[in-house]
Amino acid sequence: MNAIDFFCGGGGMTRGLLDAGIDVIWGLDSNPSCQNTYEHNNNIPYLCRDILNVHGNELIEEYPILEDNDELLMVGCAPCQPFSVLRQGPANEHISVNLLNEFGRIVADILPAHILVENVPGLRGKGEEVLNQFLDLITDLGYDYVSRVVNAKDYGVPQNRRRFILIASRRFVPIFPEPTHGRDLLPYETVYNAIHHYPPIEAGQEDEHFFNHRSAGLAQITLERIQATPHDGGGRLDWPEHLVLNCHQNGFVGHSDVYGRMSWNSVSPTLTAKCYSISNGRFGHPEQDRAISLREAAALQTFPDNYEFFGSLTEIGKQIGNAVPVLLARQIGEYVLEQHNVLNQE
């Protein structure tokens, strides 16, 4: 079975599908900063294109293998906001582009055997409206589908990461793969299992023995704050008064996770595009006085150690934090491929 990966970013979904045994033909994304990372690690073309300028018939002309649509999986992990971005028109007007519906337009052109969509949970308002339009479209095109919010930790990812997943097919009626971890199953993977083996580094340093084992530098006051944060799950509520931020004075509670440390024996919190910054979440190393490194963040997203990221600290943080966890992608890919192969054997 072949696949094409829209909004592929740094390649988490693609890597998982490849690991599942699916032949990914290319990834498509409009962000040029992801191209080196994607192509270097996956040996697959990265089509740096705006989906507004992409049409299914042109893709088929360019890649005739897509004509065999009964052997094709189309993946669309559209960036949320929700499912849309604002673009500036010729008259300086801001227009909303529904990325999921743009993906649906190409689905209608190509009619792949199977569809996979991933996004943030809890879609409301405009996001729910766009999703329902997409569901109406694929139903009219003859697809059966199943959708739900899953937690990546239930599939072996050492991270508390809830995501909306949709699996659709016009060849079989999909169900969700059963969780592998949790109560009465395998124990959850932990931060310790994922990152304890990386060499110690200080804030602002990089270790040459592992790709991207680099941590962000810290201002002196921020370093004092992380030093005052108890190991293994401590947070800013444990700081002495002179280190408390002005915005947290006078009894303000707010988000207690910022400036916090991860816990060794738990899954990590949800990683974001700023997972390298302790001021943006519970992204402090459990013991060392720094935020987790880019490599450690990648490990918590289940990227293998030989997956090398390219770009600035900010760009790599986005590539990692926005990715689909590799192991989750692999398990969903294995399910779709298994069902696909059963049909081909009948």
Q: Are 109 and 57 in contact (CB under 8 A)?
A: yes
Pairing label, strands 84-88, 94-98: antiparallel
- Other beta carbons less than 10 A from residue 78's beta carbon: 24
The residue behind tokens 């030989």 is: 306
Identify whether the C-beta of residue 181 lies closer than 8 Å to the C-beta of residue 151.
no
Task: Find the DSSP H helices in the chain.
Answer: 12-20, 35-42, 56-62, 99-110, 126-140, 191-195, 220-227, 294-300, 313-321, 326-345
80 is an active site residue: yes
Pairwise CA distance, residues 146 & 74, whole Å: 15
Of residues 8, 34, 48, 80, which has the active-site annotation? 80
Say which amino acid occupies 126: K
Contacts of 304 (CB under 8 A, 6+ apart): 15, 326
Coil vs helix vs strand at 118: strand
Separation CA 152–CA 179 (nearest Å): 9
Question: Which residues does the annotation mark as catalytic?
Answer: 80
